[in-house]
Amino acid sequence: MSHYKPKRIRWGKIVAGFFRSLAGILERWPLLLIAVFILSPVGPHMLLNYTYEQRGSYKYMLSCQYLGSRGFVHYVAMGECPYFKIIDSREFPKR
What are 57-87's pLDDT values in tens digits? 888 888 889 898 878 888 887 888 899 988 8
pTM: 0.61
The whole-angstrom separation of Cα 36 and Cα 39 is 5
Compute the average pLDDT of residues 3-17. 86
Amino acid present at 14: I
3-state class (DSSP) for residue 52: strand
**pLDDT surpassing 60 at residue 95:** no
* pLDDT attached to residue 15: 94
Residue 86 makes CB contacts below 8 A (sequence gap 6+) with: 42, 43, 44, 45
**pLDDT surpassing 80 at residue 53:** yes
